[in-house]
Amino acid sequence: MAVLSTPAIVLSAVRFSETSKVVRLATRDLGVQAAIAKGALRPKSRFGAALQLLSEGQAQLAVKEHRELHVLCAFDLVRLPVALTADLDRYAVASALGEIMLRFAPADPHPRSFDLFRDALARIETADPCRLPATGLRALWHLVSVLGFAPSLDACVRDGRPVPPEGELAFSAAEGGAVCPACAAHASTRLPERARADLAALLDPSAELPALDPRHGAAHRRLLARYVRYHLAEGAELPALDFWTRRPWVRP
């Protein structure tokens, strides 16, 4: 049994016995892995309060080959998500990010998705409240793209033809993006020019973040949620994504 050290972020933690937890970790070097943290619920546990949702640390894992449950030997805390848990807007989008990592990131090394996830949490934690909706949308779209499901905005997803560079855009969440005028009769969504430009900016990490008022922000959240359900979820329940999409704590 090899003991490996890797940067990690806690995605879930559930009671396993009177004294232990099973944690799911997003790790930089091993992908998403499950491990038992023995003694984590004891009053004087060596883990202390480190194994909180979205906590970042250096994990020491005793890896059992061909096993789905490993042993967490240590978790040296780097960052507790205090600012995330103190603000429901921040916590909701961070939880949606964590849910996508938990459900869809591979159980194999994928440093790019881990780095994006870690950096996105840091940006969400410190983002100006006025820019938080767009910051969260960009982080989620970028994570979906890095996991291999980037939407097409320049070419028709049906016949590959270039789509007009300006104006309203027919968009099919089910098929993966833009639809050209010849195929647009069956597109599920029509993005007005402003919404199209905002989506393009959200998908481009180097672009200026768009200013989204509550109505446009809600529309973009619904579009992203539909896209995720078609391309990643395969019928799975996504309560964190649903909660962030609906934002039931905010009056319309």
The CATH number of whichever domain residue 10 belongs to comes to 2.40.50.140
pLDDT in tens, 5-29: 999 999 999 999 989 999 999 999 9
| pLDDT given at position 252 | 64
pLDDT in tens, 34-44: 999 999 999 88
Boundary (domain end) residue, out of 49, 80, 111 = 80
Do 21 and 113 share a structural domain? no
Q: How many CB atoms lie within 10 A of CB 40?
A: 23
Contact status, residue 112 vs residue 146, Cβ threshold 8 Å: yes
pLDDT in tens, 85-102: 899 999 999 999 999 999
The Cβ-side half-sphere exposure at 21, using a 13 Å CA radius, reads: 25
The Cβ-side half-sphere exposure at 113, using a 13 Å CA radius, reads: 29
| pLDDT given at position 214 | 92
245 pLDDT higher than 80:
yes
The CATH number of whichever domain residue 241 belongs to comes to 1.20.1440.120
Q: What is the pTM of this model?
A: 0.93
Containing domain of residue 131, as a range?
83-246
- Is the pLDDT higher at 181 or at 55? 55
| pLDDT given at position 239 | 95
pLDDT in tens, 94-135: 999 999 999 999 999 999 999 999 999 999 999 999 999 999
pLDDT in tens, 24-66: 999 999 999 999 999 999 988 889 889 999 999 999 999 988 7
Do 166 and 201 share a structural domain? yes
Q: Measured between alpha carbons, how far is 177 from 194 in angstroms, rounded to an integer?
A: 16
Residue 86 CA, chain-centre distance (Å), reads: 19
Task: Name 251's Cβ contacts closer than 8 Å, sequence gap at least 6.
Answer: none
pLDDT in tens, 195-205: 999 999 999 99
Number of domains the chain is built from:
2
Q: How far is CA 196 from CA 46, 48, 163, 215, 240, in A?
A: 51, 47, 12, 15, 26
Q: Is residue 52 part of a domain?
A: yes
Boundary (domain end) residue, out of 48, 63, 80 = 80
Contact status, residue 196 vs residue 119, Cβ threshold 8 Å: no
Do 230 and 210 share a structural domain? yes
Do 182 and 59 share a structural domain? no
Do 142 and 195 share a structural domain? yes
Contact status, residue 141 vs residue 202, Cβ threshold 8 Å: yes
Contact status, residue 180 vs residue 158, Cβ threshold 8 Å: yes
